[in-house]
Amino acid sequence: MPKLLILGGGYGGLAVAQRLDAVSRGRTNWDITLVDRRDFHLLQVRVHEVAANTIPVEKVSIPFSELLDGRKIKFVQATINKIVPGEKKVETSAGTFDYDRLVVALGSETRYPPIPGLRENAYPMKDLDDAINFRKAVIECFRAAADPDEPPLKPVDERLTFIIGGGGLTGSELAGEMVDFCSDLAERAKLPQNCFRVVLLEGADHLLPALDRQYGEYVRNELRQHGVLVATNAMIEKVEKGTVYLRGGKVVRGSIMCWAGGIQASAVVQSSFEHLSDGRIPVDEYLRSKEYPEVYVLGDAASIKDKRTGHTVPWTAQYAERQGHYLAENLWDEERGLKSRPYLPFSLGTAISIGRNEALTISGPLKLTGVPGRLAKNISYDNYEWNIRYKPRILKV
């Protein structure tokens, strides 16, 4: 049996494995192995909600044993150390694997621009551990502030000022939900509601620079009403513990900082393939590496041009998942002697939460705000979970 090795069980990798098994109804000839360093699938799009205590850890982690149960897919929990595409080999903490076809779906990692002190003094917001560590640190700040032996709190005290660098999707969503989290913590510690502040710093001239300006402006106004101090054109030049220095001489002081200002393809991907400056691997219209046609790359690891718009496909879970489905269907078509079709990216829309209970959801001509926007966002989360968790068991697809 030819070997299909899938590296990474995130949105893209899991979608390939589940879909190939489903469309072929278990009859595929591929001997499928999925490798991930975790034994659970992480719902990464909700990681910042764990950081802001909106949802518990269990809501974002689903064991692979459950997701792959009853399918002809081997799962190996291991860390990928090196990909050697010239020899069709992958070196992992559980030994070396060879393959006939390889799917690289290893996602991305936090990118730190060369800002002195940033890496050392800011919490990343990418992985589950990042979220847990950040949440613990915020709780600790409130615990210390409520200590009767500490000097009394001033309104908007620096000890309870939380700085978020990067006003993209992650930073903006985290900022809104942090206000609700801090409000809960203040109430629990019997501290006044005006003792804390959340500051969001964005270097561009509007939030959500990857989206249309009007949406960035909308989210900025909503976050401000929610109590977030939003600063755009705020270029961070240096970070020290508790202090962020901005271009132009402004200084922001706070207790802890989170960096949500950028990502890059993971180090193991970058060291194994020729890549672009952001670490991504350029692929052709069939998601094949341009260097090694037996290697497919998808999700955050890939740089994919949308031929219709000329733009690069954004790094989001919805694209990664659909790329996984596309690839699985193409592999099954190929097995049956059918012609491969090129990948055509499309988006169902975007949803940006503003605090725990509101969101801006845009889908084609539909634009929902406030509570209906949040309900629509929650439905999209539930829909994904249904698709990977229950649909395969109930409908056997």
Ligand X SMILES: Cc1cc2nc3c(=O)[nH]c(=O)nc-3n(C[C@H](O)[C@H](O)[C@H](O)COP(=O)(O)OP(=O)(O)OC[C@H]3O[C@@H](n4cnc5c(N)ncnc54)[C@H](O)[C@@H]3O)c2cc1C
Q: Residue numbers of the site for ligand X (CB under 6 A)? A: 8-13, 36-38, 42, 44-45, 47-48, 79-80, 105-107, 125-126, 169-170, 266, 268, 299-301, 315-318, 320
Across-strand partners of 10? none
Shortest spacing between CB 319 and ligand X, in angstroms: 7
User: Is the distance from CB of 128 to CB of 49 less than 8 angstroms?
Assistant: no
Shortest spacing between CB 391 and ligand X, in angstroms: 19
Taking the least distance from each CB to ligand X, the nearer of 196 and 315 is 315
Taking the least distance from each CB to ligand X, the nearer of 18 and 266 is 266
User: Helices H, strands E: what count in the chain?
Assistant: 11, 25
Report the distance separating Cα 62 and Cα 353, nearest Å. Answer: 23
Report the distance separating Cα 7 and Cα 299, nearest Å. Answer: 12
- At 215, list the tokens: 């949406």
Taking the least distance from each CB to ligand X, the nearer of 36 and 358 is 36
Shortest spacing between CB 165 and ligand X, in angstroms: 14
Shortest spacing between CB 277 and ligand X, in angstroms: 18
Pairing of strands 281-282, 302-303: parallel
Q: What's the chain's length in residues?
A: 397
Report the distance separating Cα 6 and Cα 13, nearest Å. Answer: 6
Residue whose tokens read 């069939």: 286
- At 107, list the tokens: 């996602």
Shortest spacing between CB 376 and ligand X, in angstroms: 12
Shortest spacing between CB 38 and ligand X, in angstroms: 5
| Chain Cα centroid distance, residue 95 | 28
At 243, which amino acid appears? T
CB-closest chain residue to ligand X: 10
How crowded is residue 263: how many other Cβ atoms within 10 Å of its Cβ? 21
Taking the least distance from each CB to ligand X, the nearer of 67 and 191 is 67
Residue whose tokens read 């001239």: 205
SS3 breakdown of the chain: % helix, strand, coil, rounded to 5? 35, 25, 40
Report the distance separating Cα 299 and Cα 320, nearest Å. Answer: 4
Taking the least distance from each CB to ligand X, the nearer of 171 and 203 is 171
Taking the least distance from each CB to ligand X, the nearer of 123 and 245 is 123
Shortest spacing between CB 76 and ligand X, in angstroms: 9
Taking the least distance from each CB to ligand X, the nearer of 107 and 165 is 107
